Amino acid sequence: MIGWAAIKRFRARGDETYGFARRNIASERVASDEVIDIAEDRLHIADLADYQAVREAVSTMDAVVHLGADPRPDADWKQILESNITGTRNVLEACRETGVSRVVFASTIMVNWGYWEDEPYTSVREGTFAGDPADLPVITHLDPPRPMDHYAASKVWGEAMARVYSEKHGMSCLCIRVGGVNAEDKLINPAYAAIWCSQRDIVQLIERCVDAPVSLGFDIFFGMSGNPYCWVDYRRAGEIVGYVPRDGAEEME
């Protein structure tokens, strides 16, 4: 879903784009009326656990946006291990070997899910928070991650590996903690209003990360729209890479 939205944006501005997928059919997350149109010679069909296939796919790229993962909170450990752990290592190592200087890694807001169990964030989720949004304590990239399942924990590991490759190998590895993006491209569940993100906003942040100066070695950004009760620091991405969300949950209900 996000990958195809990003490809359309990069195509529109004239960039050569390529895709990598485990199968050549749309994910269940893609809108039913969306037609994915990627030429066969620009789409690599393989599993992220296949290192040689990953290496071949990235070998001529200038930048790689790594969105592939099993996103199910209830996914079994074997699938998480192959897709999210081994797969992420393979992408980073293949990029290192082939000289790709910029990797954008899709993390998730779910690495901060544990904060939802604390006040005032529980009240925000339940729609009972009565305070001024400006007084809401904001979670930043410097606050400890609080994953609640194997999927989210695998993304914490992915962020750590991105830092390894930045610090040790001089690559630029930027991580985006993606918010509640959905196929309908509107707020469906009011509980997610604070961390919802439109498709065009997440694509804008991906684009800003791809275009950021290579001197920006490592960072973590929150991929949220401009939601009034957002409890994570999405504004910092504007300060560092120029991201300015165009949407907000209240206007997209």
**Between 87-98 and 51-58, two packed helices, what is the crossing angle to 10 degrees?**
40
Residue 214 CB neighbours (<10 A): 11
Report the interhelical angle of 87-98 vs 150-169 (nearest 10°). Answer: 20
The one catalytic residue among 51, 115, 121, 151: 151
Question: Which ranges of the chain does DSSP label H, i.e. alpha helix?
Answer: 2-12, 51-58, 77-79, 87-98, 121-126, 150-169, 199-211, 236-241
- Catalytic residue flag (residue 151): yes
69 with 31: CB under 8 angstroms?
A: no
CB-CB contact of 129 with 229 (8 Å): yes
Q: Which amino acid is at 206?
A: I
Show which residues are catalytic.
151
